[in-house]
Amino acid sequence: MKRALTALAMTACLTLAATVAATTWGDSKQKCPACGAEVAVQEIASYGSYVYQWPSKLQLLYWPMTDPRVLYFCPKCHLSLLMGDFKALPADKLEAVRAAVARLKAEQPALKEYWEVPMAYRLPLAEAAYTVLGRDDAFWARFHRMAGYHLELSGKPELARAARERALAAAERLIAAKAEAPPLKENLIAKGSMLYLLGKKEEALAALQLAKGTPIEGKGFTDEQKKNGNKYLDDLAEELTAKVKAGEPLPP
C-alpha cells in the first residue's frame, strides 16, 4: 500500500512538474562590446531538461535558441550576438566587427524591448559579426536552423527557406568532414529535418533511416552518454520520420 501511494505521489508530482514546466528570464544590464553602451538584456533565470522534449526538437533546436531574447541587440550601434557571446571581442577584430555592423545598420522604429526588434533585422547583423569573428560549420548549422525557425515564425517563408538551405549545406559539410561534434547521428537528423522543411520528403526519409542505423561514436563521449544519446536521437528520428511520412508540418 505504501509503495502504491508513493507511486501515486510520484505520478502527481510528475504531472505537476509538467504543468509548471516553464522557462523564466530575469532583467540584466551588459556593456555592449562594440560601442560600450549599457544595454538592457534578459538572462536565463530558470529552465529544465524538459526543453529537450519541446516540439522544436524536430528541427534540432532547443530553448533558449527558440526565444527571440537569445539574440542580444545594442540599441545604439546595433551589434547583435547570441547571449553568451555578448562580451569582450578580440581586440584585433573589434574595428572590423564595428564596420560590418555599421554597413547594415538601418533606422528602426523605437521599441521598448530589444527582443521586439525583428529577427529579420537582427539575424543579418549577427551573421555579419560572426563572419568577422570566425565560426565553424557546427556553429553555422545551428545558427541557420535557428534563423529558419524565427524567420518562419515572423511570416518570412522565403527568408526561412534560404536559411534552411544554408543549414542543410553546413550539415552536409559536417557529414563530409566526418566531424565528431556534433556526432554524425545528430548531423544526419538535422539534415533530414532541413530536407523535409525544404520539401524533399524522400531524401529526408533516407537521411533519417541512415541516422537510425548510425550509433554515436567518438572519444568525447562516455558509455553512459552514448547510451542516452542514442536512445534520445533514435526516438527523435522515429518521431520525425512519422511526421514526414504523414506529411504533417513541423510544429514550432
Q: Let me know the angle formed at the C-alpha of 227 by 225 and 228, rounded to the nearest 5 degrees.
A: 65
Pick between residue 65 and residue 77 the one whose CB is nearest to Zn ion: 77
Pick between residue 61 and residue 125 the one whose CB is nearest to Zn ion: 125
Q: What are phi and psi of 127, to 5 degrees?
A: -60, -40
Shortest Cβ 118–Zn ion spacing (Å): 18
Shortest Cβ 36–Zn ion spacing (Å): 7
State the sign of the Cα–Cα–Cα–Cα dihedral 231, 52, 145, 235. Answer: positive
Binding part of the chain for Zn ion, among 72-80, 81-89, 108-116, 174-182 by CB under 5 A, reads 72-80
Q: Return the residues of window 181-200 that contact Zn ion according to CB under 5 A.
A: none
Binding part of the chain for Zn ion, among 70-78, 99-107, 189-197, 221-229 by CB under 5 A, reads 70-78
Q: Which of 23, 30, 31, 35 binds Zn ion (CB under 5 A)?
A: 35
User: Does residue 34 bind Zn ion (CB under 5 A)?
Assistant: yes
Binding part of the chain for Zn ion, among 6-14, 77-85, 116-124, 133-141 by CB under 5 A, reads 77-85
Cell 542505423 sits on residue: 213
User: Does residue 129 bind Zn ion (CB under 5 A)?
Assistant: no
Pick between residue 101 and residue 240 the one whose CB is nearest to Zn ion: 101
Picking from 222, 153, 167, 155, the residue whose alpha carbon sits closest to that of residue 196 is 167
User: Does residue 74 bind Zn ion (CB under 5 A)?
Assistant: yes
Shortest Cβ 127–Zn ion spacing (Å): 17
User: Does residue 77 bind Zn ion (CB under 5 A)?
Assistant: yes
Torsion, Cα of 215, 221, 222, 223 (10° steps): 0
Pick between residue 125 and residue 207 the one whose CB is nearest to Zn ion: 125
Q: Name, in order, each residue with C-beta under 8 angstroms of 173's C-beta and a sequence gap of 6 or more.
A: 137
Cell 557571446 sits on residue: 85
Contact 153, 108 (CB under 8 A): no
Within 13 Å, how many C-alpha atoms sit on residue 79's CB side?
A: 31
Picking from 54, 73, 89, 174, the residue whose alpha carbon sits closest to that of residue 124 is 73
Binding part of the chain for Zn ion, among 32-40, 146-154, 174-182, 222-230 by CB under 5 A, reads 32-40
Q: Name, in order, each residue with C-beta under 8 angstroms of 59's C-beta and a sequence gap of 6 or more.
A: 145, 148, 149, 193, 197, 250
Shortest Cβ 114–Zn ion spacing (Å): 11
Residues that bind Zn ion (CB under 5 A): 32, 34-35, 37, 74, 76-77, 79
